[in-house]
Amino acid sequence: MTNFNIISSFVSRARSSARLDPARDWIIMLIISLIVLTGVVIWNAWAFDTVAGGGTIGLATTSLVPTFNQSSLDAIRTVFANRAAEEEKYVTGVYRFSDPSQ
């Protein structure tokens, strides 16, 4: 029941009829902000140290499945080879390009 008393105490002070104390409210906000800032700095320092040391954050994946499909890679190479062949036809003069602006 102690937790309920603490919560009800905060709720009663937060009501509009409660006495306003801007200095107290700013101090509370600053203390909470400093606690959060300290937590963020500690978390980032730990994360940086972990990654800089070669570790991973989270679960390390140990999958041996290849990250690409060889047939997809061959299809992409075929597309680029076809494009290069078409470009060569323009360069060698097989295709004639006429400028419509002239």
The answer to whether residue 1 scores a pLDDT higher than 60 is no
pTM: 0.43
The answer to whether residue 48 scores a pLDDT higher than 90 is yes
Average pLDDT over residues 50-60: 84
Cα separation, 69 vs 80, in Å, equals 17
13-33 pLDDT, tens per residue?
A: 666 566 778 888 899 999 999
CA distances from 96 to 9, 76, 80, 88, 99 (A): 86, 27, 22, 12, 10
Mean pLDDT, rounded, of the chain: 83
